[in-house]
Structure 1
Amino acid sequence: MSALDWIAADWGTSHLRVWGLAGDHVVQQAQSDQGMAQLGRDGFEAALLALVGDWLPNGQITPVIACGMAGSRQGWVEAPYRSVPCTPLGATLTPAPTRELRLSVHVVPGLKQVKPADVIRGEETQIAGYLARNPGWDGVICLPGTHSKWVHISAGEVVSFQTFLTGEMFALLTQHSVLRHSVAGWDSAGFADGVAQGMERPERLMARLFSIRAEGLLDGLDPALARARLSGLLIGAELAAAKPYWLGQRVAVIGADGLAKAYATALAGLSVPVSIHDATEMTIAGLNEARAHLPPSERPCVN
């Protein structure tokens, strides 16, 4: 196995994922549930070392480039937001304090939009990775997840973006609302029906959500169809609101496999040219791009 010369870290609210790389080739990987929400500011270094401590060679400093919630106000160190329009990655990274002499940690800043107020932290790295793989690309990038993002890209810059609470709302409704008794599994026809309803009459969303419960009680609505319809209703309402982004554009969807496919299916049904790209691959590619912004003494094997 090749010796690693840098470490990429994606620090979410719930999870931490790390990759040890030789150049741009992954040679180690690990993850834990030590996301930002589980840590105080003094706990980040220990959480990282628990995963990568055995990877670190003695007698040298291994650079770590982190994106995501490690740079939030409650994170390891606050990496200030950069204002759009701008490139997804800036010229500087924010160093994080460390006690371990074998580590040098730098955090990627997020992006902010003043009007309407919005922020990105973590997705800017996936965007940078996609643009590195697709130079000269213009269009819209959709990043579905807990907080879905729609991002307008032009001339290598993030021009504007909008965030939707769709994924978090789906989790809340399926785990903590009265609908939790009615949903389980998946049904593709139910998803397509939900998308159509959500787009056609988004102002009816709240009523249609409760109808899932009522149909379960009165008509024995299949739980798989119910869950898929719920997802479709939420995504359909999101697509209705995000229409200024995707209408007449080509859309690149970057996300986890199942969720990315759901969004791509919904967009394809609207005759939107769409492609799907793996979130992990784009994150690593973006962090690799960020290596160019390390201090010169800490740039091993930059390609």
Structure 2
Amino acid sequence: MRPDWIAVDWGTSALRVWAMDRAGGVLASAHSDDGMGRLTPEAFEPALLRLIGPWLSDTPIKVIACGMVGARQGWSEAPYRALPCPPLGTALHRVTARDPRLDIRIIAGLSQAAPPDVMRGEETQIAGFLTQNPGFEGTLCLPGTHAKWVRLSADRIERFRTTMTGEIFALLSNASVLRHSVGPGWVPEAFTAAVIEAHDHPAALTTELFALRAAGLLHGADPAATRSRLSGLLIGAELAATADFWRKSPPVLIGAPTLSRHYAQALAALGTVAQLTDGADLTLAGLRAAHAHVTETETP
């Protein structure tokens, strides 16, 4: 098996690769825990070769990569492209590999001057979404550790905002005093009630967060309900801060199914019906679009 090119999604915590044929079909795939967060710049190439080595021949092969591989702490920094712009640029950032069999190209992230914001990796998912929904006008939401709210018009990203909701939830539930109060499980009613409270009164967020601990101490609050309420408070506050993105334009949610369903439940509680789309396939669709562009521009 010898692929025509290799697609790479390199995140903070994981590395995913696909061996692709000329028509864009997947011949094989592999993954590892060698995310950007555990690698030095010199360790990226060996980490990649550990996965794709069996796919290589003596002929150089194009490797199209997206995500944190192009961050300042990554393999090689791919400078941000400024908004407004299409999710994919006219050229990709080239990396000189030590192994002559590798022809590495990295998709650049995007930046916004005011308010200041950046993204890496999500632009590839957005490009994949547009290959399946050309001419889409409206809002995308990409839930995750750092959720992105994105406004699209005429196949361009006009503006976006990032929220740290996922990271804050992880920190509070695992490393704060609230870790003693939260437990496994999910209580939809507790989540929904907290979403509405935080959306309607976001200024009270920090006091409501400590009340979760107090409710456990004084009233023996159910740890599953506390976990659900913590998530609801944070997502509700996020929805209050991003209302200009979704209030008049029901969003398309792109992300992991469970988290996307939580966002859909939260939006439904506020009177907005969202559409859900699995983000895993969209990343590969965006990588295909980037490869097609490289092939088109470099073919004599």
TM-score with structure 1 length normalisation? 0.94
Equivalence for 1:85: 84
Alpha carbons of structure 1 residues 136 and 118: separation in structure 2 relative to 1, 3 Å:
same
Between the two proteins, the alignment pairs up a number of residues equal to: 297
Distance in 1 (CA, whole Å) between partners of 2:285 and 2:59 is 24
Equivalence for 2:55: 55
Equivalence for 2:187: 187
Q: SS of the residue aligned with 2:28?
A: strand
Amino acid at match of 2:280: T
Q: SS of the residue aligned with 2:239?
A: helix
Point out where structure 2 has 5 or more consecutive residues left out of the alignment: none
Distance in 1 (CA, whole Å) between partners of 2:298 and 2:13 is 29
Equivalence for 1:130: 129
User: Residue 181 of structure 1: CA displacement?
Assistant: 1.1
Equivalence for 1:158: 157
Point out where structure 1 has 5 or more consecutive residues left out of the alignment: none
Say yes or no: does 1:200 pair with 2:200: yes
State percent identity of aligned pairs: 51
User: Residue 133 of structure 1: CA displacement?
Assistant: 0.5
Equivalence for 1:216: 216
Alpha carbons of structure 1 residues 273 and 137: separation in structure 2 relative to 1, 3 Å:
farther
Amino acid at match of 2:38: Q
User: Residue 242 of structure 1: CA displacement?
Assistant: 0.2
Equivalence for 1:225: 225
Equivalence for 2:289: 289
User: For each residue in 1:94-151, what CA deviation from the matched residue of structure 2 results, as whole angstroms up to 9, or x when unmatched?
Assistant: 0112122222110000000000000011100000000110011100010111101000
Alpha carbons of structure 1 residues 24 and 295: separation in structure 2 relative to 1, 3 Å:
closer
Equivalence for 1:145: 144
Distance in 1 (CA, whole Å) between partners of 2:235 and 2:190 is 13
- For the 8 Å contact 2:87–2:126, the answer to whether it is kept is yes
Distance in 2 (CA, whole Å) between partners of 1:89 and 1:21 is 20
Distance in 2 (CA, whole Å) between partners of 1:81 and 1:63 is 22
Alpha carbons of structure 1 residues 298 and 50: separation in structure 2 relative to 1, 3 Å:
farther
Amino acid at match of 2:177: V
Amino acid at match of 1:78: E
User: Residue 269 of structure 1: CA displacement?
Assistant: 2.5
TM-score with structure 2 length normalisation? 0.95
User: Residue 17 of structure 1: CA displacement?
Assistant: 1.4
User: For each residue in 1:2-55, what CA deviation from the matched residue of structure 2 results, as whole angstroms up to 9, or x when unmatched?
Assistant: 743221111111211112222322222222121111111111101111111112
Q: SS of the residue aligned with 1:27?
A: strand
User: Residue 78 of structure 1: CA displacement?
Assistant: 0.9
- For the 8 Å contact 2:6–2:63, the answer to whether it is kept is yes
Distance in 2 (CA, whole Å) between partners of 1:109 and 1:38 is 21
Alpha carbons of structure 1 residues 298 and 175: separation in structure 2 relative to 1, 3 Å:
farther
Distance in 2 (CA, whole Å) between partners of 1:278 and 1:70 is 22
Q: SS of the residue aligned with 1:92?
A: coil
How well do the aligned residues superpose, as a CA RMSD in angstroms?
1.5
